[in-house]
A = this chain, B = another copy of it.
Amino acid sequence: MNLEDFLSDTRSQLEERLLASFAAPRSERLRTAIHYSLLNGGKRLRPALVRAAALAAGNDTQDWLVPAMALEMVHVYSLVHDDLPAMDNDDLRRGKATNHKAFDEATAILAGDALQSEAFAILADDEHLTDRQARQMIAQLSRAAGANGMVGGQMIDLQSEQQKLTLEQLETLHTLKTGALIQAALRLGALCHSQADPALLQALDDYGHALGLAFQITDDILDVTASTLVLGKPSGSDLASDKATYVSLLGLDGARQQADEQGRLALAALARVGLDSQSLMGQLAEYVIQRDY
């Protein structure tokens, strides 16, 4: 399967399952708000990473699906909360009103909270997983999401507005805010195989670290080079808010070099376990760096 088909098939399988989630809701409004953000046409990169890692670990069944849903639920909850007025105060996300604009702030907070709970609930309930797999996946995902992962990264990001960050501090921030969840996607995928090779796990960790940074650097570049229409959110918003980015620290060319360097590191990690640039993982790295939105 080529990358385009892989991504499209992953999206369609995932979204069918997401559409069926939160069935029999006690509050119809809460379900509507959750589905509004959960089914908003995202790229589904993290679910694709779960599936690709499961394949790399030797599991070609449908076991990737529930872990991928859990990953996406945590990712979407973080977007809904990050968009809130008290946080990044964004009105648009992928060309549509953000959750608190389409509903209200209270609903957006609760939708995010419920998405986080549900991520762990579906892993705990997934009949494809042994008790050990479910427990390990929940441990990985909760640590990646929490105070020393994604949420910690967002806190540091908010604290560092209008501050001159060093390149090292910027890297730490994004390793937590974006990288932790990307690494968790790969680990959950690998855990779909009950006895994944430790060398593969280490390679996926290194690949995920580089991929997370490449993703963020590309985001910073797109904020400067892409139009609002293509991005689905106001372009140039980082510059306007005087935020430290790879572009503000390194310039546009320097940032592009840095993205290429992280792409190279990602491929080098894959090469250690015999995966080349034409493997799914290799193509995914290329996709992250070359994407134009």
Contacts and interface: CB of A to CB of B under 8 A. Distances in A.
Interface of A: 22, 24-27, 29-31, 34, 77, 81, 84, 86-87, 104-107, 109-110, 112-114, 116-118, 120-121, 123-125, 130-132, 134-136, 138-139, 142-143, 145-149, 151-156, 158-159, 172, 176
A127 to B, nearest CB: 12
Contacts of A143: 117, 121
Nearest to A158: B106
Nearest to A74: B117
Contacts of A131: 130-132, 134-135
A90 to B, nearest CB: 13
Given A26-B156, A147-B27, A109 B106 contact: no
Within the oligomer, what is the number of copies of this chain? Answer: 2
Q: Which of A34, A81, A106, A123 has the most CB of B within 10 A?
A: A106
Given A109-B81, A135-B124, A116 B116 contact: yes
A42 to B, nearest CB: 20
Contacts of A87: 106, 109
Nearest to A89: B106
A22 to B, nearest CB: 6
Q: Which of A104, A132, A142, A154 has the most CB of B within 10 A?
A: A142
Nearest to A84: B109
A120 to B, nearest CB: 4
Which of A110, A113, A123, A143 neighbours the largest number of chain B CB atoms within 10 Å of its CB? Answer: A113
Given A84-B109, A131-B135, A147-B25, A152 B117 contact: no
Contact of A113 (B30, B116, B123): B116
A120 B116 CA distance: 10
A153 B117 CA distance: 14
A27 B156 contact: yes
A212 B17 CA distance: 34
B110 A154 contact: yes
A104 B158 CA distance: 11
Contact of A142 (B77, B121, B176): B121
